[in-house]
Structure 1
Amino acid sequence: MPTAELLRIGTVRTIVRWGDPVLHRRAKRVTDFGDDLQEVLADMFATNDAAQGAGLAAQQIGVDLAAFIYDCPDETGARRVGVVCNPELELPVGTFRRLESADEGCLSLPGAYHELARPAVSTCRGYDQFGERIELTGGGTFGRCLQHETDHTEGIVFGDRLSARSRKQLYRMFQDGADQYSDEWPN
């Protein structure tokens, strides 16, 4: 179904927290692009919007599928909205690799942020909601989102990319604000 329709019909679901096994294992590949997937994608857009996120992986609503949605600005400020199923990430290497440090957070650990260096630009290949092959390249929040959400499909949370000391700071920040987020958040 078209992205505009997915943005309109979804139902907000509870976001799964770090520690739930579904977030820490590689997701199953999407093989069926039918109605069930469309419903999950619509719910992901609704949940992401309610949580004021930049993107959301299916595992974050407890669905073990290698799919994510994004709705965020790229390096030019243009809004980018869409779906990637079975993502494969390509990052620049050698002289083309430039890292940018920025505060990063995760809807599955709400209220906690930590600086993380990631490549400034990334390319993600996969399939859209119709099962058509796509390739996306971008920087800014969009480029970071492609990396963050692809990590989710691989069972990696961004805290896994931090030092032990930085992870402790991140968890402390989450614990300090945890009472602001109910177990059913963002509902």
Structure 2
Amino acid sequence: MFLDILEETIVMKLFSLYLFFIPLLSFGQFLNPLDQNYESLKNEITFSKSSKKLHPSLLGGIKNELTGAALLSFGIVPQQRKPFLLFSSSSQKVKNQLFYFSLTTNKREDFLIDNFDRFFRGASSPKEFLLLKLNVRKDRRYIFKEKGSWRTKIASRAIPFTFEETEVGIFTVKPNHKLESGEYCFVHQDILTNPSFNDFAFFDFSIE
């Protein structure tokens, strides 16, 4: 008799715990409905509906060009620094001018600095990127060509674009105007405030 009462008490307690935790689990899913899909998302840029990935290139080098001002000032005015990517054309050819950004940091508030992606630099939307036209000279693609400070040069080469978040963390990006044939790249806007170009990835492509 005692064992039956004890067993019934244990069953009732377990059932009560079950009733207590089920609403909490459901509420947690309501707060984070896409957590289960988080691991399937990656920071990447694709350029077709078939998900052809836009692979990044690293800086090929920096050409230091002696200007008249630098020569006359005996080094007080620094030489002009011209960062470039290797080769005259990207191996990634784009026809349909639609791009798709997948950004995982837009889905998690507990993003850890240990997982920092230096290519995407914690970006939460395409608004944090620049679309640049590259200047081709011989076997190199230079990041800019206008005279002035390097920040002004980069900003002046930026091409405006619009974007729309079609799913949480997934964005469709479209240039405001049709891109002419030539060489282009996406790069994070941190490059405007960072004097070193070596820590950036350039998502370069060619428009045919």
Calculate the TM-score normalised by the size of structure 1: 0.24
Greater helix content:
1
Choose 1 or 2 for highest CA Rg.
2
